[in-house]
Amino acid sequence: MTRATVRDVAAETGLSIATVSRVLNGQANVAEHTRDLVLRAVERLGAQAPKPRNRTRPGAVHVRCPYLLTDYFGLIVTSVAEELAKHGRRVVLDAGTSAQKTSVLPSLGPDIAGAVLVLPPEPPEQLVRLRDRKFPFVVVDPRTELPRDVAAVSAAHFAGARKLVAHLVELGHRRIGVLGGPRDWLASDSRSAGYAAALADVGVLPSPELVRHVDEPTEENGYRAANEVLGERPTALVAFNDKMAVGALRAARERGLDVPGDVSIAGFDDLDLSRATTPGLTTVRQPVREMGRLAVTLLMRLLDRHEVEALHVELATELVVRDSTGPVR
């Protein structure tokens, strides 16, 4: 049996030799139905037909994090950059709040092989268009729900929040306030659901007057939200992140409340900040650095043109109990 040639495949499909060559060389600038047509023809022509070559896409990696690179985001970007360096990949960094005003799609030039997008503010439709271009990218901590075939890495927000509130419930708390993050963040929805689930386990419904959401999860916003909720006499407060929890500690202290004697306060993330407060902050540890490393691992598999089945990966969180939570008086 003679080996089938590119010309044979072109004749079989009615496509040009150049188009068939692009498919067999694994190039990205080919429509999906065209790629399928060529691969089916290759299969019909038998084992001697040319096979697509598995080649790693060359080029730099675009790392987009449109936020200040402090604590949480800084740890993710650092781990991504360090992991990419191990693979010999150059990093093109787009960071800072000013990056929120630009769209990711026009900024990805031909010298960019792939991208890691951290909490991207773009609507899902733009990310779907990027996927449809067959451009390799991975989302870290997605802001919104993504299609199944868009690679994403996040922490187990629901499970972490549920475990934290269950800890407070075991201490006798039922009036538990929530200082939530932005309403349009997927993490906020998941953590709120975990909070409600832990209360439901003991037959308690969340009290709307004990819930506040902020547009940006900062210490100052946590302070303001805590002042509003503390007027409703909760016995405990859970904050969207450690920075908001620190703001809540300040609000409680200014009101003359003892923590945890009068009110228990807990955060989320387990940043260095949580170990520097008085009392030490009970929180939920996210594997922030591992999220960055795993995102690079997924991206490199996509760049190597490997088939990736586990496209939505959630990493386990861990409850860290310190002195800011205690039994109800």
Q: Where are the alpha helices (DSSP H) in 4-145?
A: 6-13, 17-24, 32-44, 71-86, 124-132
Encoded tokens for 276: 């520097």
> Taking all residues of the chain, what is their mean pLDDT, rounded to a whole number?
90
pLDDT of 209 over the 50 cut: yes
- CA-nearest of 156, 112, 166 to 282 is 166
Chain-centre distance for alpha carbon 121: 12
CATH topology of domain 157-286: Rossmann fold (3.40.50)
Q: Please give the pLDDT value at position 204.
A: 95
Encoded tokens for 51: 């096979």
Q: Please give the pLDDT value at position 47.
A: 43
d(CA 280, CA 49): 66
pLDDT of 48 over the 70 cut: no
CB 155 within 8 A of CB 169: no
Region of residue 123 (left: phi > 0; alpha: psi -120 to 50; beta: else): beta
Q: Which residues contact 100 (CB under 8 A, 6 or more apart)?
A: 66, 67, 121
Q: pTM for this one?
A: 0.80
d(CA 132, CA 127): 9
User: What's the pLDDT tens digit per position in 53-68?
Assistant: 545 677 899 999 999 9
For strand 283-285 and strand 318-320, is the pairing parallel, antiparallel, or unpaired? antiparallel
Q: Where in the chain is the domain with CATH 3.40.50.2300?
A: 60-155+288-316, 157-286
Expressed in angstroms, the distance from the first to the final Cα of the chain is 85
CATH classification for the domain delimited by 60-155+288-316, as one of 3.40.190.10, 1.10.40.30, 3.40.50.2300, 3.30.470.30: 3.40.50.2300
d(CA 193, CA 187): 10
CB 177 within 8 A of CB 232: yes
State the pLDDT confidence band at 13, using cuts at 50, 70 and 90: confident
Least confident of 17-21, 85-89, 135-139, 324-328: 17-21
State the pLDDT confidence band at 310, using cuts at 50, 70 and 90: low
CB 164 within 8 A of CB 324: no
Chain-centre distance for alpha carbon 12: 44
User: What's the pLDDT tens digit per position in 244-300?
Assistant: 999 999 999 999 999 999 999 999 999 998 999 999 999 999 999 999 999 999 999
Q: Please give the pLDDT value at position 2.
A: 55
User: What's the pLDDT tens digit per position in 176-192?
Assistant: 999 999 999 999 999 99
